[in-house]
Amino acid sequence: MSHPFFMWEKLAILVVRLFINSKSLLMNKTTAKALTTALFILFFVSCTKQNDLLSVRAASQSAEAQTRHYIGEAFGGGIVFYVDSAGKHGLIAFPIDFEEAGVWSYNDTVTGARGTGLGKGFLNTAKIVRVIGAPADTTEDYAALEVAEFIANGYQDWYLPSKDELNELYKQKDVVGGFRPFAYWSSTEADASTAWFENFSNGTQVKSTKLGGYSLRAIRVF
């Protein structure tokens, strides 16, 4: 939309052209009054539209500000436990643990799931499942497969948190709730026979044999 002052200028040019085309530099009082009124109305309407546009933009910005997410918010199938500086993206934890503890792996295996940072758990989980698969000779699923197959609250993109994601979850354990003072598996592999877990009684992160049966909590990203 053109600024009202630009529209005023355009109309003034139009008036001059009308006088030039009519080959007259004089106009009577009635014509002058009519033109003045027309100019005033156009200027008023333009300003009104400009103000309406500014009001719409302000309302949009206000609504956007109200969509900022926060730690502890019930959202996306669970509880938000981490948000970025803009409040638009972050991590969500499922409200409760899996019923039973799980092993990281039933055998010594290099999966390449070495990601430690925020947002790395999803790729770690995918790598573990791709390498280990779904063994038919085991009675229980291992940790990554258990979480990867999890569907709850309308979402199926849950995953086992990375080492750093698990630590962020530990920091907000009282906000999210439902944790026990036990060890929880991360999806971060240390080597062929060990992976990282975190003790939720004191926040210590430790490398342990993959055959250890530790608690599981699913998370997802938004």
Q: What is the pLDDT of residues 57-110, one digit of tens each?
A: 554 454 455 689 999 999 999 999 999 999 999 999 999 999 999 999 999 999
Q: What is the pLDDT of residue 166?
A: 98
Question: Structure pTM?
Answer: 0.71
Cβ neighbours of residue 212 closer than 8 Å, sequence gap 6 or more: 103, 104, 183, 197
Are 118 and 146 contained in the same domain?
yes
DSSP-derived secondary structure for 186-218: EEEE-SSSEEEEEETTT--EEEEETT--BB---
Task: Read off the pLDDT of each residue in 167-196 and give the average, rounded to a whole number.
Answer: 98
Are 45 and 105 contained in the same domain?
no
Are 39 and 110 contained in the same domain?
no
For residue 137, give its domain range. 74-221
Q: Is pLDDT of 130 > 70?
A: yes
Q: Give the residue ranges of DSSP H helices in 67-142.
A: 121-132
Lowest-confidence segment of 53-62, 104-113, 193-202, 210-219 by average pLDDT: 53-62
Q: How confident is the model at residue 3 (pLDDT cuts 50, 70, 90)?
A: very low
Task: Tell how strand 205-209 and strand 78-83 pair up.
Answer: unpaired
Residue 90 is part of a domain; what is its CATH number? 3.10.100
Of 41, 66, 91, the last residue of a domain is 66
How many residues can be counted in the chain?
222
Q: How confident is the model at residue 135 (pLDDT cuts 50, 70, 90)?
A: confident
CA 102-82-98 angle, to 5 degrees, is 20
Q: What is the pLDDT of residue 186?
A: 98
* Percent of the chain scoring above 90 in pLDDT: 67
Instruction: Check: CB of residue 83 under 8 Å from CB of residue 71.
Output: yes
Check residues 107 and 26 and name the one with the higher pLDDT. 107
Are 121 and 137 contained in the same domain?
yes
Q: What is the pLDDT of residue 139?
A: 75
**Among 116, 113, 151, which Cα is nearest to 130's?**
113
